[in-house]
Amino acid sequence: MLELRKVYHYYGKARALEEVNLTVEEGSLDAVIGPNGAGKSTLLRAISGLEEIDRGRISFMGERIDELDPHEIARKGIGHCPERRRLFYDMSVMENIELGAYALQDKSKYPELLDFVFDIFPRLDERRKQRAGTLSGGEQQMLAIARALMSNPKLLLLDEPSLGLAPKIKTRIFEAVEQIKHEGTTTLLVEQDAVLAMEVADYIYVLEEGKIEMSGTKEQLEREPRIKKVYLGI
């Protein structure tokens, strides 16, 4: 479904991504793990067109997309839930959700999608009229994911969904991520919490200083001494 080939991105002279090769198969839940500053958020921003790559190629459903504008990429079927949520905090929960459906191609699917996000996140159903800025951190993350899902994406990009959340809430968010996958939405997740990410992912990429240093299934990476020491603490 998604293919990155030899992707480079620079901020001035600073290298953010270097020769990144990555593929995501339809129906899978893949994860990119790595330390803070490794380039994980830049990677997702490059896929969704928010960062213009300097070299390489990004293809989605067999079509090159790295030369398209962000709104065109969104209409191709890529939903992006950004780091730190980027909600409209003075607007209600329902208004934020409705904005997520702006790029929905088939408006007849709106009621079905609304039921879907409220089934995954029943707290949002209870807080439809509440201002987004008054929600807890976990509820805000739920809302950010729900907003991205309202476009009915073929591919969902999730940027650090556990950032700043308590362990119990992290677990709830990742349960929702698994549910989204089981409902058929292909997902690419970037996450600092390697333990959580590896628990849910079908395939994992390790990004360090802008380069994919290692990749494999959970079982494969757990056999690597460096992964065990640096990312799993064992």
Task: Give the DSSP letter of residue 13.
Answer: T
Query: Rounded to an integer, what distance in angstroms lies between the CA atom of residue 84 and that of residue 96?
Result: 15
Element (H, E) at 229: helix 225-230
User: How far is the first Cα of the chain from the last one, in angstroms, to the nearest whole number?
Assistant: 34
The pLDDT of residue 234 is 65
Give me the residues paired with residue 215 across strands.
205
pLDDT digits (tens, 9 = 90+) for 87-114: 989 999 999 999 888 877 788 888 999 9
Question: 2-230 domain in CATH 3.40.50.720?
Answer: no
Give me the residues paired with residue 22 across strands.
4
Percent of the chain residues past pLDDT 70, beyond the cut: 100
Under-50 pLDDT residues of the chain: none
The overall average pLDDT reported for the chain is 92
